[in-house]
Amino acid sequence: MGNFDKILLKLLSGTSDHNIKFNDLSFILEHLGFECRVKGSHHIYYKNDV
């Protein structure tokens, strides 16, 4: 099982919501095709048609 699969499984299980690292969540979103825009300290993820 790869790193993506491990993080996604942890995220979707719902049991570790407080233990998800921002870098892991960012990795998942970017792997799923989301783009990131940073405005100050806010990271905004977006994807067309979502």
Question: Higher model confidence: residue 17 or residue 34?
Answer: 34
Look at residue 1 and tell me whether its pLDDT is greater than 90: no
Look at residue 16 and tell me whether its pLDDT is greater than 80: no
| Phi and psi at residue 42, to the nearest 5° | -95, 130
Q: pLDDT > 70: what percent of the chain?
A: 100
Beta bridge partners of 38: 43
* CA-based nearest residue to 42, from 26, 28, 24, 31: 26
